[in-house]
Amino acid sequence: MTYTIARMTGKPFVLWTGIWMRLETKFHRLGFPIVQHVYRNADAVVAYGEHVRRYLESEGVASPRIFLARQAVDNALYRRHVGDVERGALRARLGIEADQSVVLYVGRLAAVKGLRHLLHGFRAVTDPRAVLVLAGEGEEGAELRALAESLGLGPRVRFTGHVSADQTTAYYALATVAVLPSVTTPEGKELWGLVINEAFNQGVPVIATDAVGAAAGGLVQDGVNGFVVPERDAAALGVALNTIVGHETVRRRLGDSALHTIGEWTTETMVSGFRAAIEYACAR
């Protein structure tokens, strides 16, 4: 609708997209010729990252019309210092002792997030005192709780329920490692995963699957600031977790790199991508 109005009124049209695969639902297949027309005829397209650029080029979008606005959060907000008192209070509330490692997931408890695979992967963690925290709520909550019990993980998994945005920084500060184990569905892939940007600001390494935009887009660098593993691969998740959990030197190296990396993924850089696209579209 917006594209049609822009064309009718002679206004420049700039599209912003994070989609990096063809969506395979019946609805999306039927409507794709229209979407492809918009892709190819927008005056400029702003993409989340290089992975989206590659996809757009494969759909026939001219490279000069694609501009990158790398996904960013307010780094200062998520980089705030979380003191020992706040950290200790959260551990107490979750029933986690000071010497226990924390594997953290923040987000919806939904099938697209691949949390069943995370539970199976966490079962392989060799540190018997490590705890998995699933911070969020969603339609898969009951099934995941049942799965945790059936795997014998009940005492080692914390389901927090809803966590407000202003509380998440303390959770990241508690984490040994954060995980985003998303999977591909007919509705698409994880467009980005801003929780990774957030975790990096607390110097927390991240394990993400190759179905996560932030991994495909270059934020998570395998072996540098975290690990990228194949989607739906619980064994690979377990190996990556065991590489970090219980190995403080590795964790610190990856975490320091994460903090350094995120310093280059700023809202200012993101805005500059939008500005360049708008200027290009207006010039046309």
No. of H helices and E strands in the chain?
13, 9
Q: What is the pLDDT of residue 97?
A: 97
Cβ pair 167, 93 in contact under 8 A = no
Q: What is the pLDDT of residue 8?
A: 87
Residue whose C-alpha is closest to residue 115's, from 81, 141, 78: 141
pTM of the model: 0.95
Q: What is the pLDDT of residue 274?
A: 98
The share of the chain scoring above pLDDT 70, in percent, equals 100
Q: What is the pLDDT of residue 110?
A: 97
Q: What is the pLDDT of residue 25?
A: 87
For 244-269, how does the pLDDT look when each residue is reduced to its tens digit (9 = 90+)?
999 999 999 999 999 999 999 999 99
3-state helix, strand, coil in the chain (%, to 5): 50, 15, 35
Cβ pair 68, 273 in contact under 8 A = yes
pLDDT band at 23 (very low <50, low <70, confident <90, very high): confident
Contacts of 37 (CB under 8 A, 6+ apart): none
Q: What is the mean pLDDT of residues 151-159?
A: 97
Burial string for 189-200 (b: 16+ CB within 10 Å, else e) reads: bbbbbbbbbbbb
Q: Which helix (H) or strand (E) holds 74?
A: none
pLDDT band at 27 (very low <50, low <70, confident <90, very high): confident
For 178-220, how does the pLDDT look when each residue is reduced to its tens digit (9 = 90+)?
999 999 999 889 999 999 999 999 999 999 999 999 999 999 9
Cβ pair 56, 45 in contact under 8 A = yes
Q: Which phi and psi (to 5°) does residue 152 adopt? A: 75, 20
Q: What is the pLDDT of residue 2?
A: 86
Residue whose C-alpha is closest to residue 169's, from 87, 65, 273: 87
Q: What is the pLDDT of residue 164?
A: 95
